[in-house]
Amino acid sequence: MEAKARARFIRISPQKARLVADTIRGKNVDEAITTLRFMPKKGARILRKVIESAVANASQNEAIDVDTLFVKTIFVDGGPMLKRIRPRAMGRASRILKRTSHITVVLDEQ
């Protein structure tokens, strides 16, 4: 039986969040949380919260043993972009894209 958690419209680039997601894919939940706790990246804190939310969702279901959970699927999709303008020389302007992410975590029993 699986447990899911999603975090949407998170203000982090999907490319940067995927770097962290790739390190914990397939790991045991305790090992993944420990890895993320000591990783010096912004995405590590966000992904740790999503995994802890999925564990809390799993604990609501009595059929799931929380101690045997592992990260079955984790993926980061791009969300909408916030478009900003930065003034440049000679009256020009450059567009800056503030990227957002949708993070999905699926946990399953081993």
* CATH number of the domain that residue 73 is part of: 3.90.470.10
Give me the percent of the chain exceeding a pLDDT of 70.
100
How many structural domains is the chain composed of?
A: 1
| Structural domain of 26 | 3-109
CB-CB contact of 33 with 21 (8 Å)? no
Q: CA-to-CA distance for 54 and 68, rounded, in angstroms?
A: 13
Question: Is the per-residue pLDDT at 10 higher than 80?
Answer: yes
Question: Is the per-residue pLDDT at 13 higher than 90?
Answer: yes
> What proportions of the chain, in percent to the nearest 5, are helix, strand and coil?
40, 35, 25
Mean pLDDT of the residues in the chain = 94
Quick one: pLDDT band at residue 110, thresholds 50, 70, 90? Answer: confident
The 10s digit of each residue's pLDDT in 53-87 is: 999 999 988 788 888 999 999 999 999 999 999 99
3-state secondary structure of 3: strand
Whole-number pLDDT of residue 67: 87
The 10s digit of each residue's pLDDT in 32-48 is: 999 999 999 999 999 99
Burial 88-101 (b: 16+ CB within 10 A, else e): eeeeeeeeeeebbb
